[in-house]
Chains A and B, each alone.
Chain A
């Protein structure tokens, strides 16, 4: 019996390998073969390019990678402090009767599908960006912009980081906090210098998960990012273009170079996420050691 059960386990485990294999195989094809009557796509120019598409067969992705990292980092910078405070609030500050309510609110935010955040982004957040921009007399493409992308992502990763922070803060040993209070520290001092410090590894895991979600988030981002043809774009009021929006926007035909090159973008996304996880895994270990 155990031998027989090894089969489903191996199938389940093999999917990660299959995913990487199949996406790379299809994503590498534009650089290796000239299947659609065009020349092969230059890999070097693809990796170094500052313009998405120069007909007939030149693609560039470097600026899109920079855009992606830029908006995702900004989203994390905005969202993390709010989320960590919210975690602290839910775990330690709010009266017991409301604790469940606040926890449920955040869980619901986590459960809202990204397409609904997309509709919300296009219907509310872009309008908000237009208003902000008009204060400074800046024109935007109907609010479709880097700032809208950052705000949508910040909203979307907020529940992830908050829930992880709550879990991390709840596991902090009460004796530590009591000791701190007994030594005369105020509640805030205890929360910041003892509770948060001990919960740091868990909170960082939450931020990593949030960043991972933001990097891979496709639908909502595609609806508010726009499709800047070249870049990198650092002006938050201009349209931008991320890896995922490049994959989704204008997706119609299911063959041809325009289809295959989207898989190449996917491969780049996979490698960024892998690299990112290794980097932050390392960082997390360090943070854990000094906690």
Chain B
């Protein structure tokens, strides 16, 4: 009887353990998916590049001698080199799987590095490493098209005498603008939310008489803020902050400032509860010692208690940053979904998360680009979580 029951116990225990692997499985799946999809596009160009591609149209008058350039040694085996023009091309595929010719090397003396712009002949443009070569018409009327591949292009380049027309482009899909916007959002949100949240927490924890009816109400209202869904914050930002900012600046519609105002309301409960937790954890001995030395209550609060609470407040800041980086629904309403390369505070732009929303919600969702940005977001999230763990294990007062 007893052994039977214990055997049943073992079965149940292993069943529970098995079910509990669910979280691990999901985490592995999420990471595997975004890394599998996203690593190919992950590059320095993605981080510092513009979102919108720039197309150049030029012609070349350059005089070319035979085989005057030398193939650089560090060129990959897939690259095709033209000794006549000093460029190397490689076949590449964009996220939709469409082939294009990528410039992988260009000699600085190459005639292609310095060509007059067709639309404005005083302006010089040049082919650069990383550009995509779209179309070339040589003076002998032979045409190079990007879909015919790099090898063919180099053969035709070597036969050609001059270039009548060359179209090339700097590829887009970079996230520099969104990274900067995310930075601005974090900065302005914290500038607004930190003082407000910290002072509120100090009042509630250090000065307020918890028995008073209005203190109870203040606390209840602040706590209710935690349960408000982010999209409702978005509606609120759109209804209050957009008209407000429009009336004091020349902006129309959502912009980075309205976004930061909205987010600051959203992270307010996080800042307040982190600060309050930190204040609560400080032993009353600190306060008594300070008061006994003759400091008054304000001095005690701001010079002793608040200083001791800094690690706790810092972990609230990290939590808030995580929330800001991950937020999408509120910003879609309070700012908008237009991706920008040039960031102006009173204009629309996207944070990294809204960037993903924008590239996913079109006709052709760009999974690869979305996954690359997701990797970057996850790196931030991991670092922030690590920071919070370190702070809470090393610096924060422990409750007895």
Residues on A facing B (Cβ under 8 Å)? 1-2, 5-6, 8-19, 22-23, 25-27, 81-82, 85-86, 88-90, 93-94, 102, 105-109, 111-120, 122-124, 155, 158-159, 162, 186-189, 212-213, 215-219, 223, 244, 247-248, 251, 254, 262-263, 266, 269-270, 273, 277
With contacts A86-B22, A109-B23, A113-B381 taken as known, whether A23 is within 8 angstroms of B33 at the C-beta atoms is no
Which among B8, B268, B361 has the highest number of chain A CB atoms within 10 Å? B361
Contacts of A223 in B (CB 8 A): 360-361
How far apart sit A108 and B336, CA to CA, in the bound complex (Å)?
28
Within the complex, which residue of A9, A25, A247 is in contact with B199, where a contact is CB–CB below 8 Å? A9
CB distance from B29 to the nearest CB of A (A): 6
Contacts of B272 in A (CB 8 A): 12
Contact B203 A8 (CB under 8 A): yes
With contacts A19-B233, A218-B329 taken as known, whether A89 is within 8 angstroms of B17 at the C-beta atoms is yes
Interface residues of B in 202-222 (CB under 8 A from A): 202-204, 207-208, 217-219, 221-222
How far apart sit A266 and B327, CA to CA, in the bound complex (Å)?
18
With contacts A122-B360, A254-B238 taken as known, whether A248 is within 8 angstroms of B332 at the C-beta atoms is yes
Contact B265 A23 (CB under 8 A): no
Residue on B with the closest CB to A254?
B253
Residues on B facing A (Cβ under 8 Å)? 5-6, 8-9, 12-13, 16-17, 19-20, 22-24, 26-27, 29-30, 33-34, 37, 195-197, 199-200, 202-204, 207-208, 217-219, 221-222, 224-225, 227-233, 235-236, 238-240, 242, 253-254, 265, 268, 272, 297-298, 322, 325-329, 332-333, 336-337, 353-354, 356-357, 360-361, 365, 367, 370-371, 374, 377-378, 381-382, 384-385
Residue on A with the closest CB to B224?
A16
Contacts of B371 in A (CB 8 A): 119, 123
Contact B328 A115 (CB under 8 A): yes
How far apart sit A12 and B356, CA to CA, in the bound complex (Å)?
31
With contacts A186-B9, A188-B13 taken as known, whether A116 is within 8 angstroms of B225 at the C-beta atoms is no
Contacts of B221 in A (CB 8 A): 12-17
Majority-rule SS of A interface residues: helix
Contact A262 B235 (CB under 8 A): yes
How far apart sit A2 and B5, CA to CA, in the bound complex (Å)?
63
Contact B297 A1 (CB under 8 A): yes
Contacts of B222 in A (CB 8 A): 9, 12-13, 16
Within the complex, which residue of B29, B239, B382 is in contact with A26, where a contact is CB–CB below 8 Å? B239
Contact B235 A263 (CB under 8 A): yes
How far apart sit A23 and B12, CA to CA, in the bound complex (Å)?
50
Contacts of A114 in B (CB 8 A): 326, 328-329
Other than the known A5-B207, A119-B367, what 4 A-B pairs have Cβ atoms closer than 8 Å?
Answer: A16-B225, A114-B326, A124-B33, A162-B23
Q: List 20 A-B contacts (CB under 8 A).
A: A1-B297, A2-B208, A5-B207, A8-B199, A12-B218, A13-B217, A13-B221, A15-B225, A22-B239, A23-B232, A112-B381, A113-B381, A115-B354, A118-B357, A119-B371, A120-B33, A155-B26, A158-B26, A219-B357, A247-B231
With contacts A5-B202, A85-B19, A263-B239 taken as known, whether A244 is within 8 angstroms of B329 at the C-beta atoms is yes
Residue on A with the closest CB to B333?
A251
Which among B22, B253, B327, B382 has the highest number of chain A CB atoms within 10 Å? B22
CB distance from A106 to the nearest CB of B (A): 5
Contact A19 B228 (CB under 8 A): yes
How far apart sit A269 and B203, CA to CA, in the bound complex (Å)?
32
With contacts A1-B298, A244-B329 taken as known, whether A109 is within 8 angstroms of B228 at the C-beta atoms is no
CB distance from B6 to the nearest CB of A (A): 6
Contact B196 A12 (CB under 8 A): yes
How far apart sit A270 and B326, CA to CA, in the bound complex (Å)?
22
- The 6 A-B pairs at the shortest CB distance, nearest first, are namely A216-B229, A113-B326, A89-B20, A218-B329, A8-B199, A13-B221
How far apart sit A131 and B19, CA to CA, in the bound complex (Å)?
23
Contact A118 B360 (CB under 8 A): yes
Contacts of B325 in A (CB 8 A): 113
Residue on B with the closest CB to A10?
B218
Contact B208 A113 (CB under 8 A): no
